[in-house]
Structure formats: structure tokens, C-alpha cells
Amino acid sequence: MQLSLEAKKRRKIRVIKDHASAYAFLLPYLLIFSVFFIFPFIYGLVISFFNWNLFYPDQTTFVGFDNYRRIWFESEGIYYRYFWSGLKNTLIFVVFSVPFLVLIPLILAALIDHEPKGYKIFRTILFMPTVLSISSVILIWKWQFYTNGGFINSVLLELGLNEIPFLVSQPWAWISIIAVTIWWTMGTNMVILGAGLKNIDKTLYEAAAIDGASYIQTFRFITMPSLAPQMLIVMITTVLASFGVYGQPDLLTNGGPDFSTTVLMMRIRPLAFGTNSNPGIATAMAVSMGILMIVISVVQARIIKKRGDA
């Protein structure tokens, strides 16, 4: 009995030591994560319950859920219109950009997976735009889309066609924003999906070929289920990034025409830091969008996992 107690005691001490060393390695990351993510999140959540005044902190007052009420239900208020119009434009971008941001990289990854001649150069060229800043990307593409003197419209005129007002009319403004986003960000998804394709057991394809399966059947019943983990990562990160869109519409169209490309982040930023700021309303909008993003991500994860297990 005494030996058993001594053994349990030694085992407990060994487990504590093992956990202590693990936490010692994790501590620097946990500190950084807490300072730059957890604390700002909690602080922002607290601000959303106050009528916060950046310039006169002593005039800050607790208002509870009033900020949320104003953006959700006060249909006559300006903040209600800001929130719902910005959210609508953000959802338009998400709905129309995410399918292309997943499908195009998937097609490119599948083509590169066959390793045609020069595929490494081709893969590098496709990935290169992801290392550029948004300012550089907009400088490159805005000149292409200009109505007067833009490269694309100059080519159209040379071909005897009419100019296209890419940045000042719909649906061309959205098409321009989505095209730039695809060119800029598709390389990351392509690399992730390409890595997933490399991990698929090639004997599965050989067995399917022996059974007479077509390429489409092979892709549907072998490739896609095997890519479920990578598809989950790509779908969630792409949706989250698309919800946070800001630079493309702000720098490319300045939210126009007629505020039709003014996304929610373009409403939140001036409310948080502008001259007529209202941080309480801004953080309430940000928290509301964050909740929506979490719900969509959870639904996505469950759908993709079910398909992967099917």
C-alpha cells in the first residue's frame, strides 16, 4: 500500500514537471496572444456597452445594450443605416468573392499537381502577388481600370469597342474589386490546396482508373473528400478575410458609386477614430459582425466535416 502511494506521488510529480515544461515553452506565445488579442477583444467588448468619449473620458457613461439597439432596431437612426448598408455590401462581397477564391485556386492546384513542364515557375508567378501590400496592388490595378487612359479601356478602344466605367458604375465596380482580390490572394489558397493534393494516396487514383472511373468521378469521390481538412481551412480563412475587406473598396472605388461598395469596415473605422467618433457604436458594430462571422464559420466547419466523413 505504501509503495503504491509512493508510486502515485512520483507519477504526479512527473506529470506536473512535464506540464510545467510545456507551459514554459507556451508562455511567451500566451503572453503575446493575451496582450494583442484577448485583452483588446475584452476591452472592445466593454467599450460597446458605453457611450465612450475619446476626448473627454470623464463624460463616458454606461449605456448597456443601447448601442446594439441603435444599430439593430432604430431604423430611423443614422447608425442603423450605416450598419445595415455596410453589412449588406460586405455580404455582397463575401457571397460573390469566396466561391471564386476557392474554386480558382482549386483548379490551379489540380493543374499544377500533374506537374507539367515549368510548373514550379508557374506556381511561383501565381503566388507572387500575395507578398505585395494592398497599396501596391491598388496602384497596379487602378491604372488598368481608369476610364481615361487606362490600359484595359485603351485596348478596348483600339479594338473599336466602347470604354467600360469600371470604377464609377455597377456592376463593374464590384467586378473590379473582386477581380483584384482574386489576383492578390488566390496564391495562398492554391498552395494550401496543392499541399493537400500531394498528401492523397495515389493508389486510390490507380484503383479508380482500373474500375473505369472518369476524371470527374475521381475528383468528386476521391479528391474532394480527401481534401476536406484543407478545404475547411481555406473556406474559413477566406470567409473571415472577406468579411474584413477594407483596402480594396476604400482605395479602388472610395466606397462608390453612391456608397454601393462602402463595406462595414469602412463605416466602423471613421466611427472609431474619426473626428465625429463614437467608439461605443463602432465596437458594437464590430462585435455584431464578429458574432456573425463565428456563426458562419461554425456552420461551414460542420458542413465540410460531414461531407468529408460521407
pLDDT one-digit tens code per residue, 27-81: 888 888 888 888 888 888 898 999 887 777 777 888 989 999 999 999 889 999 9
Q: Where does the pLDDT of residue 267 fall: very low under 50, low under 70, confident under 90, or very high at 90 and above? A: very high
Mean pLDDT of 184-202: 91
pLDDT one-digit tens code per residue, 139-154: 989 989 988 878 999 9
Mean pLDDT of 124-136: 92
Query: Is it the case that residue 121 has pLDDT exceeding 70?
Result: yes
- 92-96, 143-147, 223-227 — most confident range: 92-96
Query: Is it the case that residue 85 has pLDDT exceeding 60?
Result: yes
**pTM of the full structure:** 0.85
Model pLDDT, residue 90: 96
Model pLDDT, residue 301: 78
**Cα–Cα distance, 173 to 131 (Å, whole number):** 24
Model pLDDT, residue 10: 73
**Cα–Cα distance, 91 to 15 (Å, whole number):** 49
Q: Where does the pLDDT of residue 134 fall: very low under 50, low under 70, confident under 90, or very high at 90 and above? A: very high
The structural domains of the chain, ordered by start, are 69-309 (1.10.3720.10)
Mean pLDDT of 232-240: 90
Mean pLDDT of 277-301: 89
Which of 262, 259, 238 lies closest to 249, judged by CA? 262
> Between residues 96 and 226, which one has the greater pLDDT?
96
In percent, the amount of the chain with pLDDT more than 70 equals: 95
Mean pLDDT of 115-126: 88
Mean pLDDT of 269-276: 82
